[in-house]
Amino acid sequence: MIVRIVKLTFKEENISTFEAIFEETKHKIRSSNGCTFLELYQDKNNPSIFFTYSYWENESFLNAYRESDFFKTVWQKTKILFADKPQAWSVHKKAILK
């Protein structure tokens, strides 16, 4: 399993537009082949910064999603809202404490 963390920074006037896009697409993202978990976070000190966390069975599923027409369409709508270049990391979960 890999965890995909993406940091997105939006222009303040575009926050509600991004939130609407995410609300409209989150179930389809989560139901993509190989996606087992999806969360959206908003920075408590800077509301323009969001993070998505998604879990993927393996990198092949993540890459297939990123190459899909669905992702390309959503990304086209989203990237015009940015105030800064997005950052992304694919990481392995090393420990879980509950």
Which residue has 């609407």 as its token pair? 20
What pLDDT sits at residue 79? 96
Tell if the pTM clears 0.85, that is, is over it. yes
Contact 3, 91 (CB under 8 A): yes
What pLDDT sits at residue 89? 98
Supply φ then ψ for residue 54, to 5 degrees.
-135, 145
Tally Cβ neighbours within 10 Å of residue 15.
17
Domains for the chain: give ranges and CATH numbers: 2-91 (3.30.70.100)
In sequence order, what are the beta bridge partners of 5? 53, 89
Q: Quick one: average pLDDT of 55-74?
A: 97
Q: Quick one: average pLDDT of 36-43?
A: 98
Compute the distance between CA of residue 13 and CA of residue 2 in angstroms, rounded to an integer.
33
